[in-house]
Structures are given as structure tokens and as C-alpha cells.
Amino acid sequence: MPGAAFFDLDKTIIAKSSVLAFGKPFYREGLLSRGMIAKSIYAQIVFMLVGADESKMEKIRESMLSLTKGWNQERIATIVRETLDEIISPIIFAEALELFAEHHAAGQRVIIVSSSPMEVVGPLSEYLGADEVIATLAEIDDDGNYTGDLAFYAYGPFKAEAISAIALRDGLDLAECYAYSDSITDLPM
């Protein structure tokens, strides 16, 4: 079996936080206020300058869950799909796409592993040509809206557990696989 390559998303494949990158389209669609955009810009600057340790990631996660509670899951996925070229194309690291091509040429699957939500990572991974996704899964109510809770948080050791589950499912030898990330929080990966 040829193996797989597991890629973190934010600051590994793209130059910034994938969630924060979609702030402008969310604002245009009335989901965010100017104040929320300002907070997002501040968070992005901090994230880019100093990164995010476990404590900062927890604060970001709680803030995002509170902010998105009540938003419609399908509406978010639609906004992301419709604005991918505008938002993501300018911030993709060319080197990441070259690595995707190298791994695909070697017969290896490319899997994006991100703490960002599936509604962002799923369409983005299709756009980039990845084969599979591990991403954070939000709990959704009967009306298709976010509850403010998570079903699965794809972060740190949970990323490693999800990777191990894929390896077990597909008979992959993790010693023959690759992992790419910019962050020490992904060391378990």
C-alpha cells in the first residue's frame, strides 16, 4: 500500500486561518457585524505573529462556537463554496500544491487534517484536490442550525486518533506516511 500524506490546513496549506479568511463573505451575507470583523482581524494578527497554543486555541474555539450558534450549516457551506476562488486562491502556498502533486504521483492519498469546521474544510479540500478530510464537526439541530456544541474537535491528540483510525480502516502503515504542519500543537499528528 503506497501510504498517505496528512496535511494541516491553516498556515501549512494556506497562509492564514481558513475560518477567519471567510470573514468578508460572512459579513456580506449579514452573519457578522463590523465589530466581529475587527475582532477577527485582531485574532488573525495574533495568530500570524505568535501562533496558537492550546489555551489560545481553546479561547478561539469557544468564541467561534458562541458566534456561530444558530447559524445554518448549509448556508455556511454554500457561502464557502461560492467564494473559494475569491478567498482561498490568493492565500494558497504553491509549495503545498506541489507536495500534493508529488504525493498523488507516488500513488499516495492526500488528507487534510484541520481543527476548522467541516463546512469550511470539506469544500476547500475538494477545491485543492485532496482525497479525504478530517475536520471539526459541529452539532446540528433538527432545523440544520449549529447548537454551539461540537460532535468532534479535530485538534492535537484528536487529530492523531483520527489519523490512526484511517490507517486502521485502510491498512496504512503510518511509518510509510507523511505529515505536514506548522504548529507544535500538531506534533501528535
Q: Which three cell numbers stand for residue 121?
A: 474544510
Classify the phi-psi angles of 11: left when phi > 0, otherwise alpha if psi is within -120 to 50, otherwise beta: left
Q: Is-catalytic flag, 182?
A: no
Nearest-5° Cα angle at 8, 6 to 13: 105
Distances (CA, A) of 153 to 12, 15, 58, 108, 186: 19, 22, 11, 26, 13
How many Å apart are CA 66 and CA 37, to the nearest integer?
Answer: 15
Indicate which residue of 8, 142, 143, 186 is catalytic.
Answer: 8
Q: Is-catalytic flag, 8?
A: yes
Write the burial class of residue 140 (CB in 10 Å: 0-12 exposed, 13-18 middle, 19+ buried). Answer: middle
Nearest-5° Cα angle at 138, 67 to 25: 50
Q: Give me the active site residues, please.
A: 8, 10
